[in-house]
Amino acid sequence: MVGPPLVVLGVRRSGTTLLRVMLDRNPELAVPDESYFVPQLARRHRKSVDPSAFVDDLRRLSTLAQWGLSPDAIAGRLRRGMTAGEAIAAVFETYAAERGKERWGDKTPLYMQHLRLLERLFPEARFVHLVRDGRDAALSFLSVPAGIMTEGWGYPRDAAGFACQWATEVRAARALGSRVGGDRYLEVRYESLVADPPAELARICAFVGVAYDETMLGYVGRTESARKEHHRRLEEPPRVGVRDWRTEMPAADRRAFESVAGDLLADLGYQVDDAGHDRARLAVYRAKTAAWRAVGALTQRSPLWHRRHPVVEPVSDTFSTGRRRT
């Protein structure tokens, strides 16, 4: 690899899949669909990596089967004593190399809850944070049929619940930006991306250190992500107004969202009627999600993880629903 990895950040339904498929079409970048496995592997291999144990875990990841990536191909890049970050990077490096690409990236909205971990694993990574008006993101998320996207306990059920997640994760990503600085963190607005894709993509490419290529806009009808029910918009060119909270969001939902996260919307320059900040509700949300992550971490470090993750047969399309296990 000839440059640092790229990590696309963003709350779910903020347009990160759209940005991913654009970036993945760049001749220098390979950005696969959601990985999900980074926290699991990092927790299971906290000290220096044993290649044989690491490959055994790779054989249990449904994501690699979905990507068509063989653990045996990754094994040749591993060495005893690697850090977990270096070993995980070898997975993405193999994926990129098999596609003739020089750089790799990742886009997994779940990792908005693991930013400190990403910062530690990939100390040279470049972070592109895609921010969308949280009310439009809530509209999009709450319109997805139940069961399509599940994230354990933290699955929001209403506008206020989504506002808790949106505000918590956007603030966390912006705090990451403050820690790593402008050389490694770039904030991009979804509204600007769909209004002028070439200009925003050129800005992102300059930040990442790759050349902008017009083929990045040629994804319509050429991406497997569009087969997923909640990604059907990828069958259309990007456009402004796909969701509009002003005309589509019930007044009660708008008030509920703004009562939780209106202050952050205002800070970001979005129009609000109520710059609310429900500290109590946000505190409860953060405590419960922290507990959920702690339980997941214990499970992933225990022998139970192997029982829940038997060796996966390398059959494509077996894991096309977008679901995952913790």
pLDDT digits (tens, 9 = 90+) for 126-183: 999 999 999 999 999 998 766 555 444 457 889 999 999 999 999 999 999 999 999 9
Region at 36 (left for phi over 0; alpha for psi -120 to 50; beta for the rest): left
Centroid of chain to Cα 297: 19
Nearest to 33 by CA among 43, 45, 19, 46: 19
- In degrees and rounded to multiples of 5, residue 290 shows phi and psi of -65, -40
- How far, in Å, are 139, 186, 254, 262 from residue 275 at the CA level? 19, 25, 12, 4
- How far, in Å, are 13, 76, 202, 241, 317 from residue 236 at the CA level? 16, 40, 21, 13, 23
DSSP state for residue 92 in the 8-state scheme: H
What tokens were used for 265?
């919307």
pLDDT digits (tens, 9 = 90+) for 87-110: 999 999 999 999 999 999 999 999
Please, are residues 230 and 148 in contact by the beta-carbon 8 Å criterion? yes
What domains sit in the chain, N to C, each tagged with a CATH number?
6-308 (3.40.50.300)
| Contacts of residue 202, Cβ cutoff 8 Å, sequence gap at least 6 | 212
* pTM of this structure: 0.90
- Average pLDDT on 257-284 reads 96
Distance CA 90, CA 44 (A): 16
Would strands 103-107 and 6-9 be described as parallel, antiparallel, or unpaired?
parallel
Would strands 29-30 and 6-9 be described as parallel, antiparallel, or unpaired?
unpaired
- Average pLDDT on 275-294 reads 94
SS3 44: helix
Alpha helices by DSSP H, listed for 10-147, are 16-24, 38-44, 51-58, 62-67, 71-75, 84-98, 115-121, 134-143
User: What's the pLDDT score for residue 232?
Assistant: 62
Residue 243 — pLDDT band, cuts 50, 70, 90?
Answer: confident
Residue 268 — pLDDT band, cuts 50, 70, 90?
Answer: very high
Please, are residues 326 and 114 in contact by the beta-carbon 8 Å criterion? no
